[in-house]
Amino acid sequence: MNKENIEILKKYLFFISMFFSFIIWWHILYIYFYDNAKEIPIEWWSISEWIIWDFPHLNPLLNSNDYNKNVIYMLYRSLLKYDQKNNKIIWDLANCDIKNLNYIECYLDNNIKWSNWKDITAEDIVSTYNIIKNSNINPLMGSLLKETKITSKPWIISFSNKVKDVNFLQVFFQPIVSKEILDNIWNKELFWKFNPIDWIYSWPYKVDTVSYDDSLWIQKLILTKNEFYKKENILISKYIYKIFRDTEHFLKHKDIINIFFDKNNIIWDSMSRLNKITYNLNQYMSIFINEDKIKNYNLRTFILSKIGSNSILKTLWSWYDIASDAYLYWTGETKFEIPNLNLENTIKEMWYYKKDFLINLLSKEEKKTEIKQEVPEKINSKLTYIVSPINNKYNFLSEDDILLNWNTNNENPEEIYINNYKLSWFKKWNTNFYYRLKTSFKNVIIWENNYKIYFVIWWKKILKEEFNIVFSTDKEKLKTIEENYFKKTETITEIKPIQNNIINEQRKKNIIALDDKYYYDYNLKQFKLKLYYIDSNEELSWVANVVKNSLQTYGIIVDSIPINLSDLNKKINSWEKDYDIILVWIDLWIFNFNIYPYFHSSQAKSWFNFANLKNLNLDLILEELETNILDEKSINQKENDAINIINDRRIFKALYKKENNILIDKNIKLFKIQKNISWDLAINDAINKSYVTYEKNINFSEKSFSNFLDFISKIFKNE
């Protein structure tokens, strides 16, 4: 390389070094000036939420618990809303005084308008509630409004109720529809889908267009800002719902997602450009045991102790939150354990046995011979306590439904037991008590039955009476047996206690063929429990299967049967109530203590009290909780009292609450939501507070040459 070329190379290297020095110092100056600069959101940009379902119905009058509810919340306001951050009810369209649940008065806010420039008036509110009250468009809301008197003055609406019920506050979260729309709507639209075009809205957004995207083959619902919504500034200019009809089609285009509620975890953590935010709603997967069907206390306790949250969550992967062993927040560390429980003896009390027991019983019966013996004097002796329908200590009956009545002879027992069954309805100082014998209750079987009456007096269990009943539906055979017992010679032929009094080789073979693991009654019918679960999604089916397998390990067969809510309602309303266990989601709404529907006696005949629990003390506590929303100390005490009663009855267990996922594009800023939320629409509130674009505001008063030198010094020190 000659001297001339070297000089040229030096020249180029100099310019290159100067260029990079300029770039470096410019970058340092940029960082310096924008260091600690305030980020100011700009009102602009559009974001899209992806949905796998049908096009939303957009009808705010319907009771919606799916994505429809979230879409409607973006378009319509209500009288009140819930502030999830501060856990309290706040005003929206109106300021309502909810201290007295019998009379609530609401004062409309100033300058509240529809998207067509017109004022939102008291007439709009009254019209919305009247159409719900006087039709069956929303049965749940209609039932809350049924006994409500609604009156209005300009800017004032009042609600009068005879019954104080905290659940009534749900009506104030009802989206309000313009009277102009309600007066002109067609009946078909009223009860189904609303036309999204040229409609009138009140929330931060309004429907702009509905279109079809030919590139993605999807429908799009496009919302734009409602310029007449003035309560708060919404920074996202356009919100787009992209509606896919199936999961496979959705996954082909997942790379351009902005927002997606990944409820079924079909994306999970597979996309790095999306933030996965998890949250829990105030909803619990729960087990209810029908107390009327499974009367044995120890068996109920055993069932609840063996249905564990951990085994269920292990099956359902790890996106569920156990939340302190997944019990309701007010249950604490409730563990249903029975030390040294002998399950076989417990089930024997229900007249079911293992195969070995039946074989031994059969062997004993075969060895018996007809022996002449003197009849004990007690056979003919009269009963002391029973007053009807039997008189002697040995009785012969052919009826399947026998109601025994007797009195305590003023002995004032604290408790009464028939064999090992405690009369739960008996209270001290009651002079009369009763006990129903019925084969369907499994407390009487064909042939000989022995009963012992125990009084608990001063904490001591005392045998007071013993009697026997020979039961058979064959009246002629029963008559013959009775005659043999009461012969004048006072002798009796011992009768072999076998159904139909027949022992044959086939019965031996049938018993030997039984499975050693399970339990059977005297007629070799297998002991089974009937579990119903709501067939709303696969998750409930999975949980039902785990429950089934958990109990089958201990020889308890479970028939798990899917059922829809409508059929479940019919079954609960039926007299028989032929289920042992119900598996269902329960929703406590925004009030954690809202357990009235699930445990109050009044709900046992018709709906949510799946366990058929009837307890007067619990009813009184629940009624107080239902009418009190302000006194936190009192609420906490009542909650503890209620849960102690519920736990003691062994009829309920909350298994877990689901951890929901929402996937958010990392370019969407300031999306914040708490881990545990009771107001599901808090998700929409978080979206409405978020933004995409912003600018930096530099505080030049803090910038100087000396300050710059300090900044450079810090950089080198850090290095």
Per-residue pLDDT reduced to its tens digit, 645-660: 888 889 998 888 877 8
Q: In whole angstroms, give the CA distance from residue 273 to residue 258.
A: 10
Poorest-pLDDT segment among 165-174, 214-223, 476-485: 476-485
Share of the chain above pLDDT 70, in %: 86
Choice between 292 and 104, residue whose per-residue pLDDT is larger: 104
Phi first, then psi: what are they for 201, rounded to 5°? -125, 170
Checking if the pLDDT of 507 tops 90, the result is no
For range 270-294, the mean pLDDT: 89
* pLDDT score, position 350: 83
* pLDDT score, position 504: 56
Question: Would you give the DSSP letter of residue 588?
Answer: -
369-495 has which fold?
Immunoglobulin-like (2.60.40)
For the chain, give every domain's residue range.
3-37+698-718, 48-258+668-688, 283-344+527-658, 369-495
Checking if the pLDDT of 249 tops 80, the result is yes
* pLDDT score, position 9: 75
Checking if the pLDDT of 234 tops 50, the result is yes
Checking if the pLDDT of 610 tops 80, the result is yes
Q: In whole angstroms, give the CA distance from residue 29 to residue 23.
A: 10
Checking if the pLDDT of 204 tops 80, the result is yes
* pLDDT score, position 368: 52
Checking if the pLDDT of 714 tops 80, the result is no
Which two three-digit tokens encode residue 711?
A: 């900044």
For range 410-415, the mean pLDDT: 84
Q: In whole angstroms, give the CA distance from residue 635 to residue 288.
A: 24
Most trustworthy range by pLDDT among 116-125, 320-329, 509-518, 686-695: 116-125
Provide the pLDDT confidence category of residue 335 given band limits of 50, 70 and 90. low
Give the Å distances, CA to CA, from 622 to 328, 596, 603, 606, 607. 16, 6, 12, 17, 16
Please choose, from the candidates 46, 102, 58, 85, the residue with its C-alpha nearest in 3D space to the C-alpha of residue 200.
Answer: 58
Poorest-pLDDT segment among 199-208, 295-304, 409-418: 409-418
* pLDDT score, position 70: 94
* pLDDT score, position 367: 61
For range 251-273, the mean pLDDT: 87
For range 116-140, the mean pLDDT: 93
202 Cβ contact partners less than 8 Å away, ≥ 6 residues apart: 75, 76, 77, 93, 112, 113, 114, 115, 120, 176, 178, 226, 229
Choice between 67 and 186, residue whose per-residue pLDDT is larger: 67
Choice between 397 and 630, residue whose per-residue pLDDT is larger: 397
Q: What is the mean pLDDT of the chain?
A: 82
Provide the pLDDT confidence category of residue 332 given band limits of 50, 70 and 90. very low
Which two three-digit tokens encode residue 122?
A: 């008291």
* pLDDT score, position 456: 87
713 Cβ contact partners less than 8 Å away, ≥ 6 residues apart: none
- Position of tokens 């951890």? 659
Checking if the pLDDT of 77 tops 80, the result is yes
* pLDDT score, position 115: 95
**453 close to 393: Cβ distance less than 8 angstroms:** no
Most trustworthy range by pLDDT among 96-105, 314-323, 391-400: 96-105
For range 153-168, the mean pLDDT: 90
Q: What is the Rg, in whole angstroms, of the alpha carbon atoms belonging to the chain?
A: 36
48-258+668-688 has which fold?
D-Maltodextrin-Binding Protein; domain 2 (3.40.190)
Checking if the pLDDT of 33 tops 90, the result is no
Provide the pLDDT confidence category of residue 366 given band limits of 50, 70 and 90. low
Q: Using alpha carbons only, what angle is made at residue 22 by residues 18 and 28, rounded to the nearest 5 degrees?
A: 145
For range 69-82, the mean pLDDT: 96
* pLDDT score, position 378: 43
Provide the pLDDT confidence category of residue 188 given band limits of 50, 70 and 90. low
Q: Could you say which of 3.10.105.10, 1.20.1250.20, 3.40.190.10, 3.65.10.10 is the CATH number of the domain covering 283-344+527-658? A: 3.10.105.10
Q: In whole angstroms, give the CA distance from residue 50 to residue 59.
A: 20
Most trustworthy range by pLDDT among 88-97, 414-423, 617-626: 88-97
For range 142-155, the mean pLDDT: 92
286 Cβ contact partners less than 8 Å away, ≥ 6 residues apart: 583, 584, 585, 586, 652, 653, 654, 655
* pLDDT score, position 187: 64
Q: In whole angstroms, give the CA distance from residue 108 to residue 97.
A: 12
Long-range contacts of 308-313 (CB under 8 A, 24+ apart): 308/550, 309/655, 309/656, 311/546, 311/550, 312/285, 312/543, 312/546, 312/547, 312/655, 312/656, 313/656
Calculate the dihedral angle through the C-alpha atoms of 319, 321, 327, 332, rounding to the nearest 10 degrees.
160
Choice between 525 and 377, residue whose per-residue pLDDT is larger: 525
